[in-house]
Structure 1
Amino acid sequence: MSFPSSGKVIVKNVISGDTVVLRGRPVQGPPPEKIFSFANLVVPRIGSQREPEKEEPFGFEAREYLRRLLVGKEVNFKVEYTTNSQRDFGHLIIPVAINGETNVSRLLIKEGLAKAKPVDGRRAPTDEQIELLALEETARTAQIGLWSGTEVTRSVEYNPPEDARRFLEQYKGKPIDAIIEQVRDGSTFRVCLLLSDTQHQLITLQLSGVKAPIYRKDVPGVPDLLEPYSEEARYFVESRLLNRDVKIQLEGLSSQNTFIGTVQFPMGNISEALVAEGLAKVVDWTITMVTGGPQKLRAAEQKAKERKVRLWKDYVAKTPVKSTAGSETSFDAIVTRILTADTVQVENVATHAERKISLASVRPPKLKDAKEQYFAVEAKEFLRSRLIGKQVHINIDYIKPAEGEFDERHCATIRSGNTNIAEALITKGLAFVMRHRKDDDNRASAYDQLLLAEEKALAAGKGVHAIKVAEERAANGGPVKELPTYREPINASESAAKAKQFFASLQRAGRVAGVVENIASGSRYRIFVPSQNIKITLVLGGLRAPRAGGRPGETAEPFGNEGLELAMKKLFQRDVQFQVESQDKVGGFIGSLFLTTGSGAQAKTENVASLILEQGFARVHEYSAQQSPFGRELIEAEQKAKDARRGLWSLEKNWAQEVPEETAAATVTESRDLVVSEILGRGTLYVQVLNNEIQRLEKLMNDLATYQSRAPASASAGYTPKSGELCIAKSAADQGWYRARIRRINPDRSLHVFYIDYGNTEDLPFSNVRPLVAPFGIQDLKPQAQEARLAYLRVAELGEDWGHEARDFLTEVVQGRTVHAKILGNVASAVGSGTALNVVLYERSDSKISINEDLVYEGLATVSKDIVKKYHRDRAAGSKNEVLDSLLDAQDKAKRSRVNMWRYGDFTEDDEL
């Protein structure tokens, strides 16, 4: 597009005190430009990178005068003549007069910043030349500028600082006055730093945290490259920054020693403006350098994506994370195993489903790399010491699909309390942050925080980053600190002879700290001892655990797998203490193992052998128990399992002395087998009586499932659920359809439903509820869930102390199981206005010890004070109640053992009976 010889234009930038670049109006693309010089002026020159020596006094001052006066302003121009080299000369007129003058040439001379061009004696001077000479004489007489008698010349360094790193350290983080001299592309500039009035430094600056499209045009010997939107990005920046006063904040150096920083201009931060308009993208490799953090840049980019503007015109939002199994993407879980330095196994708190979870955007040190091996082991230990057995929150950030021999990986942010575990690992220098492709949105949700943590760890030379620091020092001939190396633990149980070398020291040490690394059965453990860097096999003295099924074709003994499962759940990868008492003949150490749970005043230490015995997953080995200092404790633990008929003792027929039937049979109205379907607080249960109606319920559930699978989508059209009415509901837990009653409509418009055949409740959306139709109504089959309460007992509500523990105990013992009940009539309902069955529960009809008694013995319930008062009155009158006798005896034992609610003594001592 041709440029006119006169008219209104915008001054793009000022090259020198007598030359400017004019810009026309943009029409379907970048506007046309013209280099324009002032006629009839002689202006002091400014130097250049090629000819710095040509800098003349007042050359920079003249250029600055024009820059502040003209850049970005609209002016009138007129070309007076054009030289053979096609250079245009003329004059500029500003719209608003300064000291009565609008002609820029005259203003320069009046300020003493230019001279009038000498008159050529061969032709008569023009009127303008005569006026300029008169103005020059006035400035000379006033002794201003060039005529002041002083020579002010700035010192300019055109080349990069010789020691760029030192220069950065000197000025990093300090706002520096500067002038943008050139815009190479939207995020790369040539900048003049005004270090003082007379000392200037030119540098190349890249914006931190962002990258604009490449603009490369007319570079000698290099092909042009104009990426999409590069011209628009360059124009966007030029129109706001070129030749403008800005503040530069240096923040870093690239690998090529190019300075990286932020540019603040009167309207704000140019990086944020570029990104918000879709003219640049946020980049990871410099995002950690951004002063104040990356949040504003990320937010600006997200808005540009949502608007689909320019670089994001084809943007497609990241689809929600969904695995092939359709698992939850945000949930609480218990960490059950540390698999590697970046992968753990967890158990969902709500569903109890187990999953492998990898830390998102994290690469651990390589175990096979000799230099990194030590830090790889430390990283895994870091995760173990902080996570094993702890509850964490999991947020799945992305799922890496299965590829080749590698399975699908669920990559997540794991938080323990307020701590991002990946960030903590990286802060210690025990992992690296993955560098994702710039178009890869599959990354950790807190990716920027991970980058910042790595930057700090690298700067401090922490952990694995010490390797790089050592290599750099060695390359520079400096002192090198010796790096830690991994030492393979000694197998102290390799043979009997090897074990003998360590036996005496371990025995003298008493209780020794260790970590359980493997478990073969309920009585055999592999333990790492950090203090001696050894591994031992510890066999628990005093008991014999059934063999667990391990190798293919190996059959487990009864309750062997259950014992192993309990040990794995309680002890695998946990910190423990052990004490050695003797040796076996193959290198194993025989002794005792202790697990401490809780901390401070709540700390509790358990003898693992007793724990296994109490659950009935092992028997006391009589000879070995006699050698153990804990022999009596082991025998008592076994007796508890016998009394409760747990585990191995449920298989025995004649292990206990026969107890006569209770004589208070008159109080029993009925004995029935029940299935416990739901457990609430306060000793309240929902049960199903085993009779013909249960078989009808199974058929009804099958028919209901078939009916719903065939029902058209319009079957519930127009249905409006109402509080109190019966319905059929699709459970969110298993997606099955069940009969239910709507108890209430929640404020969030979900429905709180009660499943009338099972006793459990659930909050569901309206879409999960359908009208109850024949033949599924209660007239065809009455509700099968009946409320029941444990007779004679006072059990805490769920929000009270020991309420949850009591429910957990009952859940483990009776949930979903068939039990035998002695029904002692009815009592008031705990959840409604009706009545509940008053029951004493037994595991089987021939059981001598009730589940009610077990709950009291565990210190999780007390015998009701009203019942105790009546018991003493009846006993004084000669009546007997052997069930109550057993309950009160169990309560006395629980008090003496200081178990659970009795741990701080008898809190009922002051009660009046």
Structure 2
Amino acid sequence: MSSASLPPTGRAIVKNVLSGDTVVLRARPQGGPPPEKVLSLANLQAPRLGTARDPEKEEPYAYESREFLRQLLVGKEVAYKVEYTTSTNQRDFGVIVLQHPVDGESNVNRLAIKEGWARARAADGKRTATDEQEQLAILEAEASANQKGIFRDTGAAARTVSYDVKDDARAFLEKHKGKPIPAVLEQVRDGSTFRVLLLLPDGTHQYITLMLSGLKAPTYRKGVPNVQDLVEEYGEEAKYFVESRLLQRDIKVVLEGLSSNDNFVGSVQFPAGNIAEALLAEGLAKVVDWNITLVTGGPQRYRAAEQKAKDKKLRLWKTWAGKPRVAGPEPEFDAVVTRVISADTLIVESAATGKERRIQLASIRAPKGPEKKEQPAARDASIKEYGYDFEAKEFLRSRCIGKPVHVVIDYVKPAEGQYEERECATVTQGSKNLAELLVSRGLADIIRHRKDDDNRSSQYDSLLIALDRAQKAQKGIHSPKDAPLHRISDASATVNKAKQFFPFLQRSGTVAGVVDYVSSGSRFRIYVPTQNCTLTLVLGGIRAPKVGRPGEKSEPFGQEALDFVSKRVMQRDVEFSVEGQDKVGGFIGALYITINDERKNVAAMLLEEGLASVHDYSASQSPNSHVLYSAEKGAREAKKGVWKNYTETEEPVQEQKFDESKPLETKDVIVSNIEGGGRLFLQVKGADLNRLEDLMSRFAQHHQSASTGAHQPRNGEYCSAQFSADDQWYRARVKKTNPDKTYQLIYIDYGNSETVPSTRIRPLDPSFSTTHLAPQAIEARLAYLRVPELDQDYGEEAYEYLRDATENRDLVAKIVGKVPGVSSPQALNVILYDKKSLTSAGGESINERVVRDGFGTVERAIVKRLNAEAKTVDKVAAWSKAQKTAGNKTVVERMVDAQEEAKGARTNMWRYGDFTEDDE
């Protein structure tokens, strides 16, 4: 601050407001920080503010009085005049005049009293009151009569304010971290350290010391008791740069961390821009690595701003010569780790170019695996052994895969023998040097360079210190104990090996793992820590384009599919479920990755991008089939990827094929809803159905507190809907939007359908989406049968018969295949059995009972096939009669037998004879 002072009269800019009756004025800058003057408003007195030393001295309305002046004056040019100066403390008193009047008044002294934020000072009794003092007294009386300002409530208490974080600073940070908090910047200590008043949501005020994250301005320390003054070059300029823009302005503070002495670290938001970026761009501050990762929005903008100042050689960078290029155009860059090859080798993707680079950590050597000994011939060759090499690689993977790092190329190791040229670098994550972390934990050794060898890590001394600590503590490879032995089995080495693991994996539901390698868009190598094994997982329900081997051509979009999943799941922590096995030892199932706290199905992600297509047969057997078909439909409509040139055509409905010589998939089910025509909805018993109970409990609680109001969804959209029968909320999907703004819905977990108004619909919260739990109601039809619709003869009777046979019963469904031509992609043809009557030989199915009791007929295609085999209907009847004692009838044959019995006994639908003759 300049030692010069402002003249007693003139024009100035209001720098800040100390209280409701005292301000700090400054001149316009000319070649440096300008002179200042503290001026108190004459003939009035505002309520006193408390201080950190004497907080109890704060009077009611003191803060509001100060706020009135702050919002009125800060940053504005005013006219001022010093009327007198006290002899005891040389305090100047005077008048301030605005350029533009407020409510017809430009005299700030009068405005403060007129609005009730100060009291007029009475004459001291020795002198006659001046005209101005009399005028101020009149204004005070009017403000009091109108109950303005301090006269609103004479019993009001002072504000609740804390000058220190009395509770644990860490707890305060966790409570408010990442949330923009309204604040006023009260003091600028230096260009990157401020005193800030936080205006907390509960109405209380909190003073804190705030250090800007990601940068450090030159030190400005002057007039601190018992501490030597220190003003670094450009320190005063940086301080003024911030003061002129932010001092006593309304800002928002985002708390991001704590410094070593428990000062808060964070960012400042204000309408004119980012003060941290401005300081960096003007060369008034430098980026610091220790907290750059805390910056909201990431460090890229800060580094870019600093680089601009470097390029222009501004202020702090006036002598900057630039670092000589070591390896191409990016000797130093920000990147994201995409793969960990070993404890000393990473693949990173440059944030600037988007290109991948293979980086070796400078001056360190990864630990070796266990020594290979002569293996007995009987030893399982599918088991591999690892030591500290596994622990070191896993340490790096878990710490930095997919995370931002900063890379500084220290040297380039030339190609030698079978080794290619290698870029050796110091890689830091935040303030942590990855190489130093490995060495300090005994998970890597350092390379001993020759004294004249400058090709070494720029942090070589730090590595030596870390090595010394690890050796003294006998950590990792320096331990006298035997190295750990990790024996990892290959569960997909052979078909028989896979069969040993299959029952456990299938029963376990979802299993945690790590993607170790990606072969194609739908084929993955996964490490399963709980089982100490690796396995091959093939995504069920989809087909991804193949990637050609070296020298071969890939299928269209094969490489794109591989790149897409590799970028998202390579070496990431994942979950997977197993549904089946292939013929070479691989497991078929689903893979899930959590991205931004959302659990996503990788197969669905590929389908959404048009980088795969649904495989109908396997999709129909997958519990995620609806998700897969919906994802493919979206990509097809958007013409993404493989659907780029797709033209939708009407596909002919294929006749349902059946082959009873093959074993059928069997599931324990319950019937959740029945419709006419033999259509019904099934819920498969198991872990997902148990999860549905938990979901519905949370669903009900959510809708007790969720906001009300009509929602107008699109066709096909998932939503929450209030079922009219019980007024409870369920997950639903829109089947059709009616002209009268009502909506035809299907409740996806139970199968019920109804039409409701928009007032009974809300958006589906993402935490209850089908990516977290697939729809639990599966549409099905009684296989091989025709059952009358509700509006046909015996339709109502057939519906009631089927309800009696299935309602509240434990059933077993044998799945024949998909129902052709239905709207739901996962609709199944099933043969239903009552679990109580099911025998090892099969027993009588519900399908058969429906036919025998005359409430359904066998499909004509099946009867025609048997007619063709027997040549005539009479021979079919004779053949059927002969089979009754054979004991080896198929399900279809039993149904035909049952139909002949019903026809002969004229049961229900057959009451008036063979009505099917008219259809021939």
TM-score between both structures, scaled by the size of structure 2: 0.40
TM-score between both structures, scaled by the size of structure 1: 0.41
